[in-house]
Amino acid sequence: MRDALGAVQSVLLLGGTSEIGLAIAGRLVGPRSATVVLAGRDPSAMEAAADRLEEQGAGRVEVIDFDAAASAGHEDVIGEAARLAGIDLDVVIVAFGVLGDQEADESGGDGALQVATTNYVGAVSAGLAAARRLKQQGHGTIVALSSVAGERVRRANFIYGSSKAGMDGFFQGLGDSLAGTGVSVLIVRPGFVRTKMTRGMAEAPFATTADAVAEATVKGLHTGRQVIWVPGVLRYAFTVFRHLPRALWRRMPA
């Protein structure tokens, strides 16, 4: 449970190699030497991340297997994370996702299905499992890493964008359903973030970094926000974009 100053004692990162997720965890661990559980598919990468988190002040870091597409096991993953933490889970970060390849995925194969399964179905399954655990505790916050790509879906990346639109809408509804339980949801909507996932891609306007997203997220946690945009100017940009006629929107540059 968080202390009187809002410092957390435990963090579960679903998507244990996510650069943004790890940056958030790194900013949360110091004040109380928090325990972190990294849940993902790459044990060696998570072990390296664990070493960095310990250097940043984590008291203990555990690593467990997690596959966003294997929804049947999500309840067990959440339970195992709580057991390894040894205390209640204060913050659960939902940070997994795949970009896909829009052109290739439109042409055929199962790439589009993998994007939808990971980004939306996996988020729904893991989000509900986390919410049930936190409701049982009576406290905790789910941090859902969404994207401005889901705020209004563009022709250039409509497969990824639609998966994030669904994921974002789900966590909005989940947050509303948890009102009064002691559990909350913080939705984080970054724009283009410079990470390994986006390396080699043309940057969109207002590009940001994982550290900037982490800083804004931790601030949002401390102030009790429900939704944040990173950088904040995107909130106002999309207020305009949301109302553009479709004929104009589809001609917007990628």
Tell me the C-alpha to C-alpha distance, in Å, between residue 142 and each of 134, 154, 206, 254: 9, 27, 26, 31
Instruction: Give the active site residue among 66, 160, 170, 229.
Output: 160
Asked about 160 being catalytic, the answer comes back as: yes
The helix-helix angle for 19-28 and 210-223 (nearest 10°) equals 50
- Locus of tokens 């990824």: 160
Q: Which candidate, 34, 121, 130, 45, places its Cα nearest to that of 79? A: 130
> What would the two tokens of residue 60 be?
């203990």
User: Which residues contact residue 41 at a Cβ distance below 8 angstroms, ignoring those fewer than 6 apart?
Assistant: 65, 66, 67
Burial of 214 from C-beta contacts in 10 A (0-12 / 13-18 / 19+):
buried
| Contacts (Cβ under 8 Å, ≥6 apart) of 247 | none
The first and second tokens of residue 254, run together, are 């990628």
| 7, 75, 87, 101, 190 from 1: Cα distances, Å | 9, 21, 8, 41, 27
- Give the CA distances from residue 89 to residues 2, 128, 184, 216, 246, in Å, rounded to whole numbers and listed in that order: 10, 14, 13, 21, 43
Give catalytic residues, as residue numbers.
Answer: 160
